[in-house]
Chain A
């Protein structure tokens, strides 16, 4: 139980600088909350810009029908900023109405354009709102987006929390530790436990506040708390691993941000796994996000926790690998010092 000494000592050191400690504890909660709310609110399928001149009744009718379609919002577009608004995603597509025809402008793929074109043609004939789910079928769900965002963000903050180990290396605390009868396992375990408690606390408070605010993300509160154990364990193991490699906080923070962003990209955080190019689908096996999103998807479908054991085991394997790398790196340091 010697790791408990490291664990308790880290808390004492944190509380010694109360302001810094509470900022580092509470700031991630605020950001995770903001992320959850933003992901929850930003759930529209397609924003359509409409341009017409004069009293174009047909354009007005179509615009009204588009606004009445669930998941679609239509607004009047500014004609001299059409390209900017399309490229930066303000509008998925801009429809320019002439008297008898319309043209579509977009940077999206042909399929999306074709679907929206058909929808507008349909509304010109008959402006009764129809189901436009075909535009939504490939997007990530709210639960998938929010869970992936939380994992991404907590992996970055866990690296920041783990930078206490870098401080130990630089101010000689680690060296003093080597003179005692403790070993690298004790040191790494103590740090991982401390980091885990902090990270899980941040996760717990964020998710509980979300629940209190009545935001339904599609997974039950209890299930989400259980997911949190893997989220916190993965983030902690990764953060500790990164901190073990560097003697400089900046290098550790920047590189971890880089790695986290790249892994989350190839894991399907921004683009659903099945929409990725085939090559990247194979590469994505090395990303924890792919397996994490797979678990979330399974839970959204109403499956119980251990019914999808395969990705859960892979995530656990990631935790073990990151922890072992951290351990081995610190052991090497000990050998080097001796």
Chain B
């Protein structure tokens, strides 16, 4: 546990000072919400504005983008050239992975909550008393995002091929999930493709929770994220080899 504590603190320090983490999870979503909100302001009503819509859809999207940041953060020992120290240090694989996992989850979840709070204040977003439920969903999403990111960065053998293309499926999921503009279709094939995007369900969960007082989707999605995160982190600990740092 002593090693875990030290590594955990180091992880927290690094993540909280990482300009890209802060930029991509707080500044970028805020800019995009303002920009898209302003851009489409004429298309929405006065009660539910475009800023409200983009607050709901952009924050989970940027949180999902965190997979890329986490997968690179997983390999930072390579960048800092400290791989051999970790190879020889008497630290268990579980401690190494869990320290990275928890530090990333905390910082990513905090970033999402800060962005949500900024949007709440800037655009007078009403959550109808469901703010904490949305926070819960975002925390669960951070767990899944971090788990997948660490799995790709530490345990996936062909990560060198995958790393360049991680942003493509996420941007596509974003399109399908209605991140840039509402997307929906009555055509069965298109509708099925749209439903393949996790962001479709995240957005449905958030909106149905706030505006239809229906927590069912939000619960299913949150539990799903937790399960994915736990499975991914379990697989990472199982398949992780310290040589991945070299």
Q: Is B164 an interface residue (CB 8 A)?
A: yes
Interface segment among B84-92, B106-114, B135-143, B203-211: the answer is B203-211
Complex interface: chain A residues within 8 A of B214 (CB):
80-81, 84
Flag if B48 contacts A107 (CB, 8 Å).
yes
The answer to whether residues A156 and B186 also contact, given A87-B207, A250-B20 and a CB cut-off of 8 A, is no
Q: With the chains together, A308 CA to B118 CA distance in Å?
A: 44
Flag if B40 contacts A271 (CB, 8 Å).
yes
Map CB proximity to B onto A60-98 as digits: 1 under 8 Å, 0 otherwise: 000000000000010100001111100111110000000
Flag if A83 contacts B207 (CB, 8 Å).
yes
Q: CB-nearest residue of chain B relative to A161?
A: B164
Question: Interface on chain B toward A: helix, strand, loop, or mixed SS?
Answer: helix
Q: With the chains together, A17 CA to B158 CA distance in Å?
A: 12
Flag if A20 contacts B45 (CB, 8 Å).
no
The answer to whether residues A80 and B212 also contact, given A38-B190, A258-B28 and a CB cut-off of 8 A, is yes
Q: With the chains together, A73 CA to B42 CA distance in Å?
A: 24
For A, the interface residue count at a CB cutoff of 8 angstroms equals 55
Closest Cβ of chain A to B52, distance in Å, is: 8
Flag if B20 contacts A107 (CB, 8 Å).
no
Q: CB-nearest residue of chain A relative to B203?
A: A88
Q: Which of B41, B56, B184 has the most CB of A within 10 A?
A: B184
Complex interface: chain B residues within 8 A of A275 (CB):
42-43
Map CB proximity to B onto A244-285 as digits: 1 under 8 Å, 0 otherwise: 000011110110011001100110001100011101100000
Using a CB-CB cutoff of 8 Å, which residues 167-219 of chain B contact chain A?
167-168, 171-172, 178, 180-187, 189-190, 193, 203-204, 207-208, 211-212, 214
Map CB proximity to B onto A5-19 as digits: 1 under 8 Å, 0 otherwise: 000000000000101
Interface segment among A40-48, A174-182, A188-196: the answer is A40-48
Closest Cβ of chain A to B246, distance in Å, is: 14
Q: With the chains together, A262 CA to B29 CA distance in Å?
A: 11
Flag if B45 contacts A109 (CB, 8 Å).
yes
Complex interface: chain B residues within 8 A of A28 (CB):
168
Q: Is B38 an interface residue (CB 8 A)?
A: yes
Closest Cβ of chain A to B42, distance in Å, is: 6
Closest Cβ of chain A to B73, distance in Å, is: 9
The answer to whether residues A277 and B44 also contact, given A23-B165, A258-B28 and a CB cut-off of 8 A, is no
Q: With the chains together, A156 CA to B185 CA distance in Å?
A: 27
Q: CB-nearest residue of chain B relative to A74?
A: B186
Contact of A47 among B47, B165, B172, B184 (CB under 8 A): B184
Complex interface: chain A residues within 8 A of B187 (CB):
41
Flag if B164 contacts A280 (CB, 8 Å).
no
Flag if A277 contacts B38 (CB, 8 Å).
yes
Q: Is A297 an interface residue (CB 8 A)?
A: no
Q: Is B39 an interface residue (CB 8 A)?
A: yes
Flag if A31 contacts B20 (CB, 8 Å).
no
Q: Is B72 an interface residue (CB 8 A)?
A: yes
Flag if B207 contacts A156 (CB, 8 Å).
no
Flag if B163 contacts A249 (CB, 8 Å).
yes
Q: With the chains together, A90 CA to B194 CA distance in Å?
A: 11
Contact of A254 among B20, B31, B79, B168 (CB under 8 A): B20
Flag if A109 contacts B42 (CB, 8 Å).
yes
Using a CB-CB cutoff of 8 Å, which residues 39-92 of chain B contact chain A?
39-45, 47-48, 53, 56, 65, 68-69, 72, 79
Closest Cβ of chain A to B170, distance in Å, is: 9
Flag if A253 contacts B164 (CB, 8 Å).
yes
Closest Cβ of chain B to A58, distance in Å, is: 23
Flag if A253 contacts B68 (CB, 8 Å).
yes
Q: Is A332 an interface residue (CB 8 A)?
A: no
Closest Cβ of chain B to A126, distance in Å, is: 25
Q: Is A163 an interface residue (CB 8 A)?
A: yes
The answer to whether residues A83 and B211 also contact, given A44-B185, A254-B20, A265-B39 and a CB cut-off of 8 A, is yes
Flag if B190 contacts A81 (CB, 8 Å).
no
The answer to whether residues A280 and B44 also contact, given A42-B183, A75-B186 and a CB cut-off of 8 A, is no
Flag if A89 contacts B161 (CB, 8 Å).
no
Closest Cβ of chain A to B103, distance in Å, is: 18
Complex interface: chain B residues within 8 A of A36 (CB):
none
Q: With the chains together, A123 CA to B2 CA distance in Å?
A: 74
- Name 13 A/B residue pairs within 8 A (Cβ), A-sorted: A41-B189, A81-B214, A84-B207, A84-B208, A87-B182, A108-B45, A250-B20, A250-B163, A253-B164, A254-B69, A257-B167, A271-B39, A280-B38
Q: Which residues of B contact A (CB under 8 A)?
A: 20, 24, 28, 31-32, 35-36, 38-45, 47-48, 53, 56, 65, 68-69, 72, 79, 158, 160-161, 163-165, 167-168, 171-172, 178, 180-187, 189-190, 193, 203-204, 207-208, 211-212, 214
Extra contacts, 18 of them, besides A248-B72, A265-B32 (Cβ < 8 A), are A20-B161, A23-B161, A23-B165, A34-B172, A41-B185, A41-B187, A41-B190, A73-B186, A80-B214, A83-B208, A88-B182, A108-B45, A156-B171, A257-B171, A262-B32, A265-B35, A271-B43, A277-B38
Going nearest first, the 9 A-B pairs with the smallest beta carbon separation are A89-B182, A83-B211, A84-B208, A107-B48, A90-B184, A250-B72, A20-B161, A160-B164, A84-B207
